Amino acid sequence: MMRFTVTRRAGRLAAIAATAGFLAAGPASADAGFQQWIADFRNVAAQGGVSGSVYDNAFEGVTIPDPEVLEKARYQPEFRSQVWDYLDSRVNPFTVRKGQEMARRHGRVLGQIERQFGIDRSVILAIWSMESNYGEVLEKPDRLHYVPQALATLAYGDSRRAKFARTQLVAALKILQSGDIRREQLSGSWAGAMGHTQFIPTSYQAYAVDMDGNGRRDIWTSVPDALATAANLLAKNGWQTGKTWGYEAAAPSGGGRYDGQTKTLAEWQQLGFTRPDGRGFPRPSDRAELKMPAGASGPAFLMLRNFFIIKRYNNSDSYALAVGLLADQIAGYGAMTQRWPRPAGTLSMEEKFELQTRLKHLGYYGGEIDGNLGSGSQAAIKQFQSRTGMDADGVPSQNVLDRLRR
């Protein structure tokens, strides 16, 4: 069981409180419209079973919308990134190695979860990696938001998500009312996803598990509770124990015309779809849907029922594919064998690691070598480009890597 030390936890939560708006803003910075919305929503929350004292305590000192929430709401990488870029940053030697390390560290509780819920440990570890980088996100206060404030911001300022946010806000307040978590711990993502395995409040209410037996369902600081909660969601949505999520497949010429169709594995094999390593498909009577996320020129995948159960966690094909591929590698089954049809001049996953390594060796980059070319890597690239007379756009490209190699 992993627990934060009291000193470390207190420092983290203090930072969250300051970042998320626990401290009252001065009158000049208050948002009158937002404050009126909070006052009006009190009756709605009461009708949903939230006591007035819990509501008032939850919003004490919250006078302005969370300034980052609406900005983050406009960008979701699952639906904007090219599939290979999305997978590169989530399924790579760094995340696999950490997953295998966590499998050893939490082997006992993972074994209990497998026996109780029937979900393979590698799948749970892959979800943990995807959702919070094995809990590391929870140690970065600048990435966290005070959940009631974040959800009120969405309900107040995002018409597309207002209904969702209102429902989630009532649920979050009821979690607070239940005593499972204290106000200063109620942190999460911009959309209210919480804890190690990033559950929105209504999903927490439906699936949260007290795996460590301390009387609280604590997905924020208890790894057993968080991982068991993820397993419970998959199990209750119909996970097929002992079966995989799907198979990488090599498509025959013209196979792209079948994209999106569902057939038995035996029927797919008769049409010329094979596993890249030449092995046959186990259980040929199982039905699978063909997905070709990069089009006819890219790899094919035959998705079984468990792939679509993963999508109950996050309704994105890229997300579910990343979970499946990462789980396979954590379990020791190896990586994909086919290559993605990357445009000329872009970097492969291996080259992204090399670029970070070279930038770090030259003193431009101080972060982790993880293949994730985020803001830190892009700033380092810009600095290198400026120093070497290149166009300083911060874009990781073959030209930048070639210059680094020289």
| Structure confidence by residue, pLDDT tens digits, 325-378 | 999 999 999 899 999 999 998 999 999 999 999 999 999 999 989 888 988 999
Domain count of the chain?
A: 2
CATH number of the domain bearing residue 172 = 1.10.8
Predicted local confidence at residue 354, as pLDDT: 95
Where a domain ends, among 137, 160, 188? 188
Residue 246 is assigned to a structural domain of this protein: no
pLDDT in tens, 373-401: 988 999 999 999 999 999 999 999 999 99
pTM of the full structure? 0.88
Residue 27 is assigned to a structural domain of this protein: yes
Predicted local confidence at residue 319, as pLDDT: 97
* % of the chain beyond a pLDDT of 70: 91
Residue 398 is assigned to a structural domain of this protein: yes
**Band of residue 16 on the pLDDT scale cut at 50, 70, 90:** very low
Residue 26 is assigned to a structural domain of this protein: yes
pLDDT in tens, 72-123: 887 655 455 789 999 999 999 999 999 999 999 999 999 999 999 999 999 9
Residue 70 is assigned to a structural domain of this protein: yes
CB atoms closer than 10 angstroms to residue 235:
18
Residue 161 is assigned to a structural domain of this protein: yes
Predicted local confidence at residue 168, as pLDDT: 98
pLDDT in tens, 228-283: 999 999 999 999 999 999 999 999 999 999 999 999 999 999 999 999 988 899 99
Predicted local confidence at residue 1, as pLDDT: 34
Segment 177-200 shows an average pLDDT of 95
**Band of residue 21 on the pLDDT scale cut at 50, 70, 90:** very low
Residue 89 is assigned to a structural domain of this protein: no
Give me the chain's average pLDDT, please.
91
The span from the CA of 170 to the CA of 176, in Å, is 10
Residue 215 is assigned to a structural domain of this protein: no
Query: Per-residue pLDDT for 9 more than 50?
Result: no
If DSSP states are collapsed to H, E and C, what string results for the chain? Answer: CCCCCHHHHHHHHHHHHHHHCCCCCCHHHCCHHHHHHHHHHHHHHHHCCCCHHHHHHHHCCCCCCCCCHHHHHCCCHHHHCCHHHHHHCCCCHHHHHHHHHHHHHCHHHHHHHHHHHCCCHHHHHHHHHHHHCCCHHHHCHHHCEEHHHHHHHHHHHCCCCHHHHHHHHHHHHHHHHHCCCCHHHCEECCCCCECCCCECHHHHHHHCCCCCCCCCCCCCCCHHHHHHHHHHHHHHCCCCCCCCCEEEEECCCCHHHHCCCEEEHHHHHHCCCECCCCCCCCCCCCEEEEECCCCCCCCEEEECHHHHHHCCCCCCHHHHHHHHHHHHHHCCCCCCCCCCCCCCCCCCHHHHHHHHHHHHHCCCCCCCCCCCCCHHHHHHHHHHHHHCCCCCCCCCCHHHHHHHHC
Predicted local confidence at residue 3, as pLDDT: 29
pLDDT in tens, 22-62: 433 344 457 899 999 999 999 999 999 999 999 999 999 99
The span from the CA of 236 to the CA of 230, in Å, is 10
Which residue range is the domain that position 166 belongs to? Answer: 6-75+145-188
pLDDT in tens, 110-154: 999 999 999 999 999 999 999 999 999 999 888 899 999 999 999
CATH number of the domain bearing residue 353 = 1.10.101.10
Predicted local confidence at residue 77, as pLDDT: 53
